[in-house]
Structure 1
Amino acid sequence: MERGPLPPRALIVTVLGLYVREFGGWISVSALIRLMAAAGVDEQAVRSSLSRLKRRGIVEAERRGGVAGYALSEYARQVLEVGDRRIFAEREEHTHDWAVVVFSVPESERRKRHALRARLSWLGFGTVSSGVWIAPGRLADDARDVLLADGLDPYVDLFRAEYLAFGDPAAKIAEWWDLAALEQLYADFRDAHEPARRHWAAQEQVPPGAEAFSDYVRALTSWRRLPYLDPGLPTDLLPDSWVGTTAAQTFFALHGTLAGPAHDFVTAQAGAARPG
C-alpha cells in the first residue's frame, strides 16, 4: 500500500473526515497548515490540495469571524457518514445473502455509466457481468444511500438475493473480485504499519503529540480505502490464511492506541482556532 509517500491530498481528507465535523464542519487554513506540518506536509502542498478539493466539491471556502477557512460540503458530509460505517467497523461474520445491482444506462449518457461503475467499485461491489454487480447484503443500505445522493438511482434496480445454484460460491467470488490484488494491498498495509504498532505497543503510555498524530493519520489514510475494496466477504469463501485478517489487527491496534492521543493533539493545535 505505502510503497511511496502518501499524497498530501489524501492525508488532508483523512484529517478533515476525522476532526472537522467536530469543529462545526469548518477549520481555519492556518490551523490546518499547522496540523499538516505535523504530518510532514508543507504549506504549499496544503494550499494546492485545498484548491483541488474545492474544485471537486469536497470543501467550500468560508470566512468565520474574519478568519479564512474551509467548510465541508454537504456532499462530503454524506460520504464521510458512509465512510464511518465502513472504515471503523471491525469485521463480523456475514451470512450468505447478497445485494445485487442491475443497471442499464443509455449510450447517450455514457458518463453516467462510468460514474455508476466507479461508485459501485468504491462501495466494494464485484462484477458478475457488465450490468450486474454484487456485494454482501449488508451493503444494500449504503448502496441505496450513495446512489440516491449521486442521482444515479433512475438507472438502477437494487435487489437482495441468495445464491442457489449452479456453481461453487468460493470459485465465483474469485471471478467477481480480484482477491489476489486485494490481498497484496493488505500485505502492503501490514508491512508499512506493523512497525508503528510494535513501537507504540512497547510504550507504557502514549502522550498527545505530533508523532502519535502523524502515525495515526498515516495509518488511517492507508487503511480507509481497503474496507471499500474489500466488501467483507464471508470468511468461509475466502482463501486460507487471508492476510486481510492480520492487516485489520494491525489497524485496529493502532486505532485503539493512537486515536485518543491524536485527538488531544488536534484539539490543542486547532481547537483554539475555532471562532466563538
Structure 2
Amino acid sequence: MEKQFNTRSMIFTLYGDYIRHYGNVIWIGSLIRLLEEFGHNEQSVRAAISRMNKQGWVQSEKIGNKSYYSLTERGTARMEEASKRIYKSKSPTWDGKWRMLVYSIPEEKRHLRDELRKELVWSGFGLLSNSCWITPNPLEEQVNRLIEKYDISDYVSFFLSTYEGMSEHSDLVTKCWDIDDVNDRYYQFIQEYSQKFVIDRNKIEKGEMSDGSCFVESALLVHQYRKFLFIDPNLPEELLPMKWLGDSAASLFTDYNQLLQTPATRFFESVFELGNVPTINK
C-alpha cells in the first residue's frame, strides 16, 4: 500500500499498542516486516529506529547477526502515559487546584527551553504568560521527571495554587488553550471514522477483511487518534465547553479499535519473533 505517516511515528504506535505487551523487545526483521504493511521500506525503518536509539527512546542489543530493540525506561514511561490518555474512559475529576510551572532558563540553554516547551504542551500544560505554564491536572510526577531529565531544577519553580480572579476559570481555559479548535478536530474525526467503522464492521461480519488489513486499519486508527495527545490538554469535565465532542470521539475510537483488535493481534503475532528474544538490561 502507499506509505502513510512518518516511519518513526508508526514505530511509536506499534511499541505502544503491541510490542510493549510482548516482552517489550522486537527483532528488527519483524519490525521491518510489520512496517511494510504501511508502505515503509527497510531503509526508512532502520533509519528511524537508529534515530530513536540516539534520542534515547529505544536501546539495541545484538545476538549473533540479529539486532533487537526495546524501549528504554524513558520510552516506556512515555508509552504508559500516552496509553493512559488514549484509552481513558472519561475526563479526569478536578480538585479545583491549578498547577503552575514558571521557569527562567538562560539564553545559552535555549535548546533546553525549546525542548521543555514541547514536553509541557504534550503533557497538557497551557501557556498563561511568558514562561508561565498551568494545568488543572495532577502532573507533579511528569514535572519532576522533566526537571530531572533536563537537569533544570535551578531554573524552575512549581506551585499548587487556587485561582482568585479576576475572571472565571473558563476564561483561563480560553486564554491557555484553543479548545474550540480541538472540538472542531474531534468533529472531523467523528465524521470520518464513524463511516469507516460501519464499512469495516460489515466487511468483518462478511469475512471480507483479512487479518493484515485489520492490523493496518487498527494501527492507523490509533496513530490518527494519538494526534489528539498533542492538542487536547485533557481538561476536567468542569472546565470543558457544553457541547464537548471529546468523549463521543473516545467512545467511537474504543468501539472501532475493539472491532479490529482480535484479527489485528492475530496478524501481529504471526509476524512477531516469539523465540530467542533476549532480556535487555534497563
Same fold (TM over 0.5): yes
Cα drift, residue 259 of structure 1: 3.0
Give, in whole Å, the separation in 1 of the partners of 2:233 and 2:146. 15
Instruction: Mark the CA change 1:132 to 1:152 in structure 2 (over 3 Å): closer, same or farther.
Output: same
Instruction: Mark the CA change 1:151 to 1:17 in structure 2 (over 3 Å): closer, same or farther.
Output: farther
Identical counterparts, % of pairs: 27
Cα drift, residue 228 of structure 1: 4.4
Instruction: Mark the CA change 1:50 to 1:240 in structure 2 (over 3 Å): closer, same or farther.
Output: same
TM-score, normalised to structure 2, is 0.84
2:99 is matched by which residue type in structure 1? A
8 Å Cα contact 1:136/1:232 also seen in 2: no
Cα drift, residue 172 of structure 1: 2.2
Give, in whole Å, the separation in 2 of the partners of 1:190 and 1:268. 32
8 Å Cα contact 1:91/1:232 also seen in 2: no
8 Å Cα contact 1:122/1:228 also seen in 2: yes
**1:168 and 2:168 are equivalent in the alignment:** yes
8 Å Cα contact 1:197/1:254 also seen in 2: yes
**1:40 and 2:39 are equivalent in the alignment:** yes
**1:80 and 2:85 are equivalent in the alignment:** no
Q: Deviations over 1:138-187 (max 9, x none)?
A: 33333333433343344222222232222022122111112233233323
Instruction: Mark the CA change 1:32 to 1:138 in structure 2 (over 3 Å): closer, same or farther.
Output: same
Unaligned runs of at least 5 residues, structure 2:
none
The correspondence of residues 177-196 of structure 1 with structure 2, limited to 5 A, is 177-196=177-196
Give, in whole Å, the separation in 2 of the partners of 1:172 and 1:92. 18
Q: Deviations over 1:62-95 (max 9, x none)?
A: 2135422323233212222222222222223522
8 Å Cα contact 2:99/2:137 also seen in 1: yes
Task: Classify the secondary structure of the residue corresponding to 1:63.
Answer: strand
Indicate the residue corresponding to 1:31 in structure 2: 30
The correspondence of residues 124-139 of structure 1 with structure 2, limited to 5 A, is 124-139=124-139
Give, in whole Å, the separation in 2 of the partners of 1:79 and 1:205. 38
Give, in whole Å, the separation in 2 of the partners of 1:194 and 1:114. 37
TM-score, normalised to structure 1, is 0.86
8 Å Cα contact 2:92/2:237 also seen in 1: yes
The correspondence of residues 45-64 of structure 1 with structure 2, limited to 5 A, is 45-64=44-63
